[in-house]
């Protein structure tokens, strides 16, 4: 079975397609922005990657969301809920973690099926 790597670099790829499953790297927004702005940016990046890999929000399988501070949970959820509205919701887990830099407030990892 073929493996296709999107935007592959020496450390990681932004997405990997294996069969009909697409695995996304963790997406982050601009460092230092609010969790609302970072979440909007992350979801826009996910939309772009979904389109590039032949998928869409209707084919999301799972989402893993890391927040630097669970106090941002409600604000992130408000953005997520608006974005996912009208699409079947994937499985999802949200946790608190120290991200790559303190300036990142949210990171989202998606697994999707090809459309």
Q: What is the pLDDT of residues 19-78, one digit of tens each?
A: 999 999 999 999 999 999 999 999 999 999 999 999 999 999 999 999 999 999 999 999
- 49: which residues sit within 8 A by CB, 6+ positions away? 6, 14, 15, 24, 27, 110
pTM of the complete model: 0.96
Domain count, the chain: 1
The phi, psi pair for 99, rounded to 5°, reads -85, 180
Q: What is the mean pLDDT of residues 73-88?
A: 98
Alpha-carbon distances of 13 from 25, 36, 55, 63, 86, rounded to whole Å: 7, 25, 17, 18, 29
- Return the DSSP state at 14: S
Burial of 65 (0-12, 13-18, 19+ CB in 10 A): buried
Domain range for 76:
3-113
């Amino acid at each position: 079975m073929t493996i296709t790597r999107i935007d592959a670099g020496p450390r990681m790829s932004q997405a990997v397609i294996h069969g009909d499953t697409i695995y996304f790297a963790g997406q982050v927004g601009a460092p230092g922005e609010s969790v609302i702005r970072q979440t909007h940016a992350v979801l826009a990046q996910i939309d772009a990657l979904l389109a590039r890999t032949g998928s869409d929000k209707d084919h999301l399988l799972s989402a893993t969301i890391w927040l630097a501070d669970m106090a941002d949970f409600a604000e992130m959820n408000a953005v997520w809920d608006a974005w996912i509205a009208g699409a079947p919701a994937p499985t999802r887990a949200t946790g608190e973690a120290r991200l790559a830099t303190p300036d990142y407030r949210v990171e989202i990892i998606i697994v999707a099926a090809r459309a």
